[in-house]
Amino acid sequence: GDSVTQMEGPVTLSEEAFLTINCTYTATGYPSLFWYVQYPGEGLQLLLKATKADDKGSNKGFEATYRKETTSFHLEKGSVQVSDSAVYFCALSEKTSYDKVIFGPGTSLSVIP
């Protein structure tokens, strides 16, 4: 079945450091890929998405590129801020299976001043 693997962390970075959170997936079809973010005490919210190979999703300074050849969707940000401290979830949804999203285990990020 489909699955998502991501580095679990926790990841601790200093403010203005470069961030990479790795995400790889296994899918039987051709899925859309997502990054969701969960701030402390809140529900998840969509950060960015990509629906086809080589698409780049971007939002709030975060970027991720859909790499079909390596089945990856790594999240990057050039300069993190304390306000980026959160848990980040990589996820996929098959275009042919319209009613389910598969989430990775989440990566906890702490940014220290």
Tokens of 28: 């039987």
Using alpha carbons only, what angle is made at residue 53 by residues 48 and 58, rounded to the nearest 5 degrees? 20
- Residue list 77-96, contact with other proteins (CB under 8 A): 89, 93-95
Q: How many Å separate Cα 78 from the centre of its chain?
A: 15
- Residue list 1-60, contact with other proteins (CB under 8 A): 4, 8, 31-32, 41-46, 49, 51
Shortest distance (Å) from residue 89 CB to other proteins: 6
- Whether residue 106 contacts residue 7, with contact meaning beta carbons closer than 8 Å, is answered with no
Binding site residues, other proteins, CB under 8 A: 4, 8, 31-32, 41-46, 49, 51, 89, 93-95, 98-101, 103-106
